[in-house]
Structure 1
């Protein structure tokens, strides 16, 4: 087996890493999804269960991914390959890294298109298209946008081009510098919107919706939702954290840093809720999960609120910054892989990754424009017409992510030699033993339950 040169670049500081990891974790879905599912599943009661899940399941797997990256010092696939060889484990364990890297890239092919919606909405809001608009007009704006190939192609291309530009400039001058600037900017804009929302909206109703402990509303299904979101919210099983771990200095504590990332991610998600739901309740709108909340419900409020054009524009700028920081983190693994595998320079690798990403994004663009493809219907051994975006979303979210997370837990808990994991984590023996128990037993069991619930084997 050919030994590849280990990555020598390191994060400038632990704070830079925490910013980058939080920026990768906080994306479009986290901003609208977490507050909503929290409010619908018992508010404060859900938060308590979620916090237990994130520190018992999410953080141990995050620690495992950072460990693989730092010990392997290569892109995810080669890092896992290095560790499997070093531990004397079967070479098939390297699939852990390849799977997570591939999953992140496939997700980015449709995530970049959804991010393009927010990009488009910056110009729609700034030009006053939402001013005085009613439900029918807002729905028409949304439908016309998602159905326009030319519009989606334009803004998706711009977003991918910006992503390529940042990662092409290299780690220090591109990715790290970008997150050090963009993540604080996003937080400042989000805080401004939250303060304004508290003034002009119904802050009390929002707090009640999000935080009121109601254990009668916390069902078994709600616990599974908390378990699943705690796992997915940290950008686990997408190659991001393994790649970021490769840049982590040896003296940086993986355990404490992972804790800070989890705290920061949860804080931003809660702040997003306090920015969105006072407006929703203050203007007698219905909170809804998913794109409808951001692209149809909120514009109705922006249409009539004081300084609505400015607030809407700032909001969508903030949303694009959140999406963009996630995009540059998800493409970094493929860029590093191309540099290692084919000895390309950063610009060549970034352009190649960007071109492949842009090409695959066309599947999602044309899916939203109404195109369907004939695929094999496994249930009836025939063919049927399906929306390819729904297929890609289903496979990545319900199959690839949980299986990748399970592979990370099993690989770090069972395949990598204990002396290596102990050397990387250090710290108090009790903390190490707790992590090892969680990643060997608790996390795999929880991920299997999540997977079975996602594919419909477990129903409540």
Structure 2
């Protein structure tokens, strides 16, 4: 063993202060922009409460076991995703090529963050213009055409996109560069509770000023006539993506988890918080959407076109709108931190870099990489993959190809390569769940990944 390798081997990673802190960090990773707008409207489109039941079944059968696997891989090795697979494959005398599963996970999180920061920049911009009263004090009645033109103007301005996304990225850098204890841990301990409190307050305000019962029925009333095979496939896909799986994030966060903490209970808590945030977001948004006669299934247009129009018309709209877009910024920030951490941890452990240097190098390269996504909305209209722009193509490649490969490989690795004693080390006193976990990794998870591939292509 070389001197640098010895230094890496003896360097112990920090440990989360407690189980609640880890839950907050992991839930922050899982809770992102998709929870605020995507999950509520796909619930309404696909059978309301009937879809929620299918989604929860997918979470329990597929999402939680795979989340347990990733957390366990990290905790058993105290290493980044690449090194975790490398170490465990060596211990189990499996092929050394399994290390590239962790490597692909790190690459995936890096690429996702490179375009995610552009979307986060939109949220930051809309927070600023809402706080300034640009929508609510315009002196004229806005129309959907006006707010649509504003959003198109944001996309058409490369300078605006660069400034907004770089500001967001620098915020992520400051948190990650400060370390686990002083950066990520402290930030999630105030960001996640703040996010949930704001969301509940917004839902209460929305219930008082909108059509709450119609929104409640939209989200929770079972309509099994809308529950089709496509609905099931959507539930499978969202249960996977919403938990921040197959991106190296949960393996990396798991490396900082206390040995005495229950992986099973922690995974269930993370899944529960993630689902609760998504449904509460629906109760905060849709009463207002219905009250103003707008379409609730318009995706990004809902956030950046329809909602600003509502804020302009409603009482205290400036305050409500500012709180909403700040909420979106916090949700993006917690996910951004978890997406940067796998690359930083890998640079730290693989090359014995100091955290500040690793975070700086990652941030600079991400800033350059994000230009390709930002420019794809304006000055670079080339079609890159499957006839899509660079932004859309990168989204498709990471979500439907890379993450699918990592998820399937992780399940097969845990189900077929890891030996009983390694699983015992992963789960400790929870050894009773090992047979169920192994069955899930060998048969259930691959079946769900197969459904995801079918849905994607």
Normalising by the residue count of structure 1, what TM-score does the alignment of the two structures yield? 0.95
Given candidates 435, 442, 445, the residue that maps to 2:444 is 442
Aligned pairs for 1:319-330 (under 5 A) are: 319-330=328-339
Root mean square deviation, CA, Å: 1.5
Aligned pairs for 1:203-282 (under 5 A) are: 203-282=212-291
**1:430, 1:165 → 2: CA distance?**
42
Q: Residue 134 of structure 1 corresponds to which residue in structure 2?
A: 143
Q: Residue 381 of structure 1 corresponds to which residue in structure 2?
A: none
- Correspondence 1:111 to 2:116: yes
Q: Residue 389 of structure 2 corresponds to which residue in structure 1?
A: 387
Q: Residue 418 of structure 1 corresponds to which residue in structure 2?
A: 420
- Correspondence 1:311 to 2:320: yes
Deviates more, 1:109-118 or 1:444-453: 444-453
Distance 1:343 1:141, change over 3 A: same
- Correspondence 1:69 to 2:78: no
- Correspondence 1:51 to 2:56: yes
Given candidates 39, 51, 76, the residue that maps to 1:34 is 39
Deviates more, 1:101-110 or 1:408-417: 408-417
Helix, strand or coil at the partner of 2:294: coil
Helix, strand or coil at the partner of 1:368: coil
**1:182, 1:104 → 2: CA distance?**
21
CA contact (8 A) 2:262 2:430 kept: no
**2:318, 2:26 → 1: CA distance?**
32
Q: Deviations over 1:342-361 (max 9, x none)?
A: 22211111110000111100
Aligned pairs for 1:91-102 (under 5 A) are: 91-102=96-107
Given candidates 16, 21, 26, the residue that maps to 1:11 is 16
The gaps in structure 1 that reach 5 residues or longer are 378-384, 456-460
- Correspondence 1:162 to 2:167: no
- Correspondence 1:88 to 2:93: yes
Q: Residue 382 of structure 1 corresponds to which residue in structure 2?
A: none
1:450 Cα offset (Å): 0.7
Q: Deviations over 1:155-207 (max 9, x none)?
A: 11111111111111111000111111111111111111111000000000000
1:370 Cα offset (Å): 4.4
1:336 Cα offset (Å): 1.0
The gaps in structure 2 that reach 5 residues or longer are none
Q: Residue 372 of structure 2 corresponds to which residue in structure 1?
A: 363
**1:212, 1:352 → 2: CA distance?**
49
1:87 Cα offset (Å): 1.1
Helix, strand or coil at the partner of 1:20: helix
**1:45, 1:123 → 2: CA distance?**
38
CA contact (8 A) 2:42 2:297 kept: no
1:284 Cα offset (Å): 1.1
**2:178, 2:159 → 1: CA distance?**
29
Q: Residue 196 of structure 1 corresponds to which residue in structure 2?
A: 205
CA contact (8 A) 1:103 1:396 kept: yes
CA contact (8 A) 1:7 1:246 kept: no
- Correspondence 1:347 to 2:352: no
Structure 1 stretches of 4+ moved >6 Å? none
Distance 1:71 1:289, change over 3 A: farther
**1:57, 1:315 → 2: CA distance?**
32
**1:439, 1:7 → 2: CA distance?**
29
1:412 Cα offset (Å): 1.1
**2:410, 2:119 → 1: CA distance?**
28
1:8 Cα offset (Å): 2.9
Distance 1:376 1:315, change over 3 A: closer
**1:223, 1:288 → 2: CA distance?**
18
Q: Deviations over 1:219-239 (max 9, x none)?
A: 011011111111111000011
Distance 1:188 1:428, change over 3 A: closer
Q: Residue 396 of structure 1 corresponds to which residue in structure 2?
A: 398
**1:238, 1:213 → 2: CA distance?**
33
Given candidates 277, 291, 296, the residue that maps to 2:305 is 296
1:7 Cα offset (Å): 3.5
